Amino acid sequence: ANGILSVHAKDQATGRDQKITITAASGLKEDEIQRMVKEAQDHEADDKKKREEVEKRNKLDSMVYTLEKTLTDNKDKIPESDAKALNEIIAEAKQAVEKQDDAAVTASLEKLEKEAHRIAGAMYGQQGGPGGPGDGGGAPPPDAGPSEKPGGKSKDGVIDAEFEEAN
C-alpha cells in the first residue's frame, strides 16, 4: 500500500527482459485504497466469468490450430468426407472466436472435440492403434484377473512371467 507498482516480464523464447516501475507522486489515502479494494471485490465474479470466457476462446483457438495442422500432416490418412466435415466445424469455430459469442464458442468447442475424437479414433483404427498388431507391449487386458505373484500361478492356471528383450 505504498503506491508503487513494479512489473517485470521476461520472454521465455528470446530471453528479453522488460521492467517498469510506476510510483505515485503522492501516496494514496487510506479511504481511496479501501474504495479500490471494495471495487475489486465487487467485480470479482464478473472478472472470473470474463476470464473463463477468454480461456474457453483460447482453448478453442488452440484446438483449431492443432486440428488444422493434423489435417495437413495426415491428408492421406483422413477420408475426404471426414476432412470436409472437420473443416466446416473449424470454420464455424473461427467465426465464433472472431464474434466472441460465448454460447457459440461453447457449442463449437464441444462439436470440435467430438469430431476430433471420432477422427482420431478412425485414424488409430486404420493403423492398428496402441496395443494393436505388432505392438507387443502395453498393459494386460482388463479381464486378465489377479495373480498371486510374478512367476506364480493364478487361480485359473495362467502363469504370469516377466521377460526382457535381448538384442
CATH number of the domain enclosing 84: 1.20.1270
What does the pLDDT read at residue 65? 92
Counting as low any pLDDT under 70, the low residues of the chain are 1-3, 24-27, 127-156, 167
What does the pLDDT read at residue 12? 79
In a domain, 110, yes or no: yes
pTM beyond 0.85:
no
Cell of 148: 498371486
What does the pLDDT read at residue 110? 92
Q: Which domain holds residue 77?
A: 55-126
Taking each helix axis as running N to C, give the angle between helix 30-42 and helix 44-73, from 0 to 180 degrees, rounded to the nearest 10: 50
**Overall number of domains in the chain:** 1
In sequence order, the β-bridge partners of residue 19 are 8
